[in-house]
Amino acid sequence: MATIVGGIAVSHVPAIGGAIARKLQQDPYWKPFFDGFPPVRDWVQQMRPDVVVVFYNDHGLNFFLDKQPTFAVGAAPQYVNSDEGWGIPSLPPFRGDQDLSWHLINELVHRDFDLTTCQEMLVDHAFTLPMKLLWPQDGPAPVRTVPICINTVQHPLPSARRCLALGEAVGKAIEAWDSDARVLMLGTGGLSHQLDGERAGFINKDFDLRFVQSLGADPQWATQYSIEELVELTGTQGVELLMWLAMRGALPGKVRERSFHYHIPISNTAAGLLVLENH
């Protein structure tokens, strides 16, 4: 049976792609952000994952407002990145794991999740940049991937309770996968940020820290809030923290926070990087 080796949650901001392309990791603005990653990469090396299951939200590259699945699972041999208009380089394709994709799709539908299945799926900065931060070397990341997209861009959004339940179902399915693969869970988005409207620039450090603290022992904590309350507390895009909750839900063991790095701001975002161990 497959093994879930742990989970990582990390913010995604397009400007990170520009900073990587221009080698600005030591620049005073960027250094406090990039300095969070070497210890996390060391941990990933130790965990030796074969596959990464990525909870993320598409921002209009693969799904636009005319077609917006609540949950979509990739089932493609590879995932292609493409220009989103941010002025950052597109990254080379990421390798899929179709065996795990179809296993997850079967198990999730069996557990009453209504999914969109995608045999072709463009992946945007929310997928590519966290992967690049974890595997910064030239060439393709040395892991297979399964993207799971959760709608956080067009209302109505799935509740925190539903996203946690999705993660739990994904975790159970992976544990039942007939494979000796080692699987890393990744959630990307958040933490608090708002890109537009009267509250553009909004950040809520107190809430971010309380939320992250809850993830280890009490992941139900965030489910007390409705989507509207989460938007009010974290900003219109801060609600991407749903990905952190789904990632956490997938960890079946005794979960312990290994490290947390938090830096305000990167672009408009309170940037977080969390590693959860799964024993």
Query: Does 110 qualify as catalytic in the annotation?
Result: no
Nearer to ligand DHB, 80 or 264 (CB): 264
- The reply to whether 70 sits near ligand DHB by the rule CB under 6 A is no
Can residue 144 be called a binding residue for ligand DHB (CB under 6 A)?
Answer: no
Q: How far is the CB of 122 from ligand DHB (least distance, A)?
A: 15
Closer of 15 and 255 to ligand DHB (Cβ): 15
Site for ligand DHB in 225-264 (CB under 6 A): 237, 240
From the CB of residue 209, how many other CB atoms can be counted at a distance below 10 Å?
A: 15
Question: Which residue lies nearer to ligand DHB by CB, 12 or 263?
Answer: 12
What is d(CA 126, CA 256) in angstroms, rounded to the nearest whole number?
A: 25
Among 132, 144, 162, 193, binds ligand DHB (CB under 6 A): 193
3-class DSSP state of 34:
helix
Residue whose CB is less far from ligand DHB, 59 or 248:
59
Residue 62 engages ligand DHB in binding (rule: CB under 6 A): no
The C-alpha torsion from 140 through 108 and 113 to 47, rounded to 10°, is -50
Q: What CA–CA distance (Å, rounded) separates 278 from 3?
A: 10
Q: Is 12 in the site for ligand DHB (CB under 6 A)?
A: yes
**Close Cβ partners of 48 (under 8 Å, ≥ 6 residues apart):** 5, 182
d(C-alpha 124, C-alpha 137), whole Å:
19
Answer for which of 5, 7, 9, 14 binds ligand DHB (CB under 6 A) is 14
Contact 208, 31 (CB under 8 A): no
**Cα gap 46→179, rounded to integer Å:** 20
- Please pick, from the candidates 128, 145, 236, 269, the single residue that binds ligand DHB as defined by CB under 6 A: 269
Give residue 159's Cα distance to chain centre: 16
Of 193, 261, 263, 279, the catalytic one is: 193
Look up 155 and say whether it is catalytic. no
- With CA atoms as reference, report the closest residue to 12 among 178, 148, 190, 166: 190
Question: Which positions lie near ligand DHB, rule CB under 6 A?
Answer: 12-15, 59, 193, 195, 237, 240, 267-269
Question: Could you list the active site residues?
Answer: 125, 193
